[in-house]
Amino acid sequence: MNYFSSNFKLGILGGGQLGKMLLTETRKFDIYTCVLDPSDEAPSKIACNEFTQGDLMDYDTVVNFGKNVDVLTIEIENVNANALETLEKQGVKVFPSSKTLKIIQNKATQKLFYVDNNIPTATFTRFAYLSQIEDAIDNGGLHLPFVWKAAQFGYDGNGVKIVRSKADLKDLQDGECIAETLIPFKNELAVIVSRNVKGEVKTYPVVEMEFHPEANQVEYVICPARIGTKIAHKAQDIALKVSKSFNHVGLLAVEMFQTQDDEILVNEVAPRPHNSGHHTIESSYTSQFEQHLRAILDLPLGRTDNKVAAVMVNLVGAEGHSGDVIYENIEAIMAMDGVTPHIYGKKQTRPFRKMGHVTIVNEDLNEARQVAEDAKNLIKVISQ
């Protein structure tokens, strides 16, 4: 198949920042791209060949979009998987597959998949309704504290809450959910696995994630993770097992907990480019976005080792600011050695909205972490 400067069409469901960064690579290779997104102001709109505005969860919209492309991929999980299944039957190549996506879209189904495939994960209970959780606490079937997760449509800290008392249940959405044992972990880690159609597999180095205590969003992604070689190998082996179990094609970001006694438990996965891999644009021989393209087009996979240590900082909207965005002190952080900002192109900011990220590279990881903190304290995402 000739993908380059040809009639081949790649379709992408979702036009957010992940799509925009993926499109940087398609432009590098001159691959023709079509994007579907509900927003007329989607960040990807400026970077694709064809943009279609439409609902990613609407069956007909997704089928009609997908039947005009040769390969279809996603940059967000919340898409109509039944439409993808129909397109697969019509001969469109869809990566990740509808089968994989249906398992991952529902956190309860995803957790059951880990149990069925002997993949270590925190113990959990599945509930059809929120009211059942209260009953389970009252009758001793569920013990506080625990982590509540909505089964569907959670993202970036939405749909996840630590429940320490019954009062914490009152603002949670009703519907299917899971209650998961709260793990007092040492580290939150992630491994990105890439797998092409032929079955060639590579993993990126393990990264360590530092979280914002209130927003439940990642503040820093540190690569390589500050862990021992034995733990790193264990995390990569488990990530490879998860990838093999899903038999997925493309990228699979596997988020994990390192427990106090150095066990590795899988938290959840994302079958697409991921926040924990943004640093690869500057730090790796092959960025995660190029690797995703290589995988879904069944091209040879690129090198995944680091050229240099890196720390990535998410740029999120400051509290108390909503409206037209201003990036305060961006010139000051660009004056720092090894600092590269990525602005996603969202015109409107609001508290904790992901607006961009900054990557800091340095031969010394500790130095990179310090510069990352300095940059984070300096730059502000505010409104006019």
Which domain does 39 fall in, by range? 9-94
Judge if 224 and 291 occupy the same domain. yes
Residue 109 in marked binding region: no
Residue 188 in marked binding region: yes
For residue 382, list its beta bridge partners.
Answer: 326
Judge if 188 and 300 occupy the same domain. yes
Residue 182 in marked binding region: yes
How many C-beta atoms surround the C-beta of residue 229 within 10 A? 7
Residue 210 in marked binding region: no
Q: What is the CATH number of the domain that holds 31?
A: 3.40.50.20
Residue 228 in any domain: the answer is yes
Judge if 132 and 211 occupy the same domain. no
Residue 107 in any domain: the answer is no
Region at 190 (left for phi over 0; alpha for psi -120 to 50; beta for the rest): beta
Residue 267 in marked binding region: yes
pLDDT of residue 156: 63
Judge if 281 and 192 occupy the same domain. yes
pLDDT of residue 211: 82
What digits encode the pLDDT tens for the residues 227-247? 999 999 999 999 999 999 999
Averaged pLDDT in 10-residue chunks for the chain of 384 residues: 96 98 98 98 97 98 98 97 98 98 97 98 96 93 95 79 92 93 95 98 97 77 98 98 97 98 97 97 98 98 98 96 98 98 97 96 98 97 95
Residue 61 in marked binding region: no
Judge if 284 and 208 occupy the same domain. yes
Q: What is the pTM of this model?
A: 0.96
Q: What is the CATH number of the domain that holds 221?
A: 3.30.470.20
The Cα 308–Cα 173 span in angstroms is 43
Judge if 281 and 373 occupy the same domain. no
The Cα 308–Cα 180 span in angstroms is 37
What digits encode the pLDDT tens for the residues 245-283? 999 999 999 999 999 999 999 999 999 999 999 999 999
Total domain count for the chain?
4
Among 280, 304, 328, where does a domain finish? 304
- What is the chain's length? 384
Judge if 201 and 299 occupy the same domain. yes
Judge if 75 and 155 occupy the same domain. no
Residue 99 in any domain: the answer is no
Residue 183 in marked binding region: yes
Judge if 43 and 18 occupy the same domain. yes
